């Protein structure tokens, strides 16, 4: 098992929020996984939540294995993988908790798939985690992505599902970033200094 130091202040901050919150989590290139793990672990272990992890940055298998390498079982979390379907043979995986969407541009499909998973899950309290806005921004036009995040956050806020939106601020379009500041109720800032 890899020794890994979590940022405990994130857990403290998360303990103050409610299910209908939407949290913008800012990270840098070098601390992305540490921030992700520091956010996910309290949700899964302290607050005993289930949830959906949407990954546009890396394949879900790689993320599951990264969690396994620090001794974290994520079999209770459902993953929506927007990356692997575009790679030949990328959907032939051994994990049953991975769902595939063809492409990061199928934004509405991601929303509907998430809603479907939440309707079939047994957890009473759930989160949705987007990893990450800057990865989605590679494929989607700024206005559409801003509109999508607005829809996404409000959809889950209404359903009392906690939404966590991960982004690397200096790789996120300014329009999207400023809209996130507006929509999100909370900010966990472990990002880099942004100079636009």
Partner 1 sequence: MRGGIPYGSTVLASGTCGSGKTTLAMEFLVRGALAGEACAHFTATEPSVKLLENIRQYAFFDMNMVDTGLINVFDMDVLYSWLGLDKSTFDLDDVHALIKSITDIVNTIGVTRLVIDSVTTLCYKIKSEQLIRDFLFTLGKKLATLGCTTILISEITSATENAHWSSFGVEEAIADGIVVMGDVERMGHLLRFLQVVKMRGTSHSRAKHAIELTPLGVMLTPMLKWGSQTDSANWGA
What is the contact surface with partner 1 in residues (CB under 8 A)? 102-103, 105-109, 111-113, 115-116, 119-120, 139, 141, 143-144, 147-148, 151, 155
Q: Would you say 142 or 170 has its CB closer to partner 1?
A: 142
Closest residue by Cα to residue 168 from 145, 193, 196:
193
Report, in Å, the least distance between residue 71 CB and partner 1.
34
Cα gap 156→138, rounded to integer Å: 24
Q: Would you say 142 or 186 has its CB closer to partner 1?
A: 142
Report, in Å, the least distance between residue 115 CB and partner 1.
6
Q: Would you say 28 or 173 has its CB closer to partner 1?
A: 173
Report, in Å, the least distance between residue 36 CB and partner 1.
26
Cα gap 194→124, rounded to integer Å: 38
Report, in Å, the least distance between residue 155 CB and partner 1.
8
Q: Which helix (H) or strand (E) holds 112?
A: helix 107-120
Cα gap 118→146, rounded to integer Å: 23
Q: Would you say 141 or 160 has its CB closer to partner 1?
A: 141
Q: Is 3 exposed, middle or buried (0-12, 13-18, 19+ CB in 10 A)?
A: exposed
């Amino acid at each position: 098992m890899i020794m890994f130091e979590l940022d405990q202040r994130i857990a403290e901050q998360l303990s103050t929020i409610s299910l209908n919150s939407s949290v913008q989590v800012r990270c840098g290139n070098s601390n992305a996984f540490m921030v992700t793990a520091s956010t996910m672990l309290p949700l899964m272990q302290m607050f005993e939540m289930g949830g959906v992890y949407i990954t546009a940055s890396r394949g879900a298998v790689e993320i599951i294995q990264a969690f396994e390498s620090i001794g974290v079982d994520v079999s209770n979390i459902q993953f929506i993988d927007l990356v692997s379907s575009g790679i030949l043979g990328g959907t032939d995986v051994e994990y049953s908790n991975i769902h595939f969407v063809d492409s990061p541009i199928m934004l509405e499909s991601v929303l509907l798939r998430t809603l479907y998973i939440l309707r079939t899950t047994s957890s009473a309290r759930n989160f949705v985690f987007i990893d990450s806005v800057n990865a989605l921004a590679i494929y989607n036009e700024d206005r559409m992505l801003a509109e999508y995040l607005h829809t996404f956050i409000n959809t889950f806020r209404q359903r009392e599902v906690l939404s966590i939106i991960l982004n690397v601020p200096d790789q996120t379009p300014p329009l999207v970033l400023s809209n996130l500041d507006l929509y999100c109720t909370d900010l966990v800032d472990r990002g880099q200094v942004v100079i636009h």
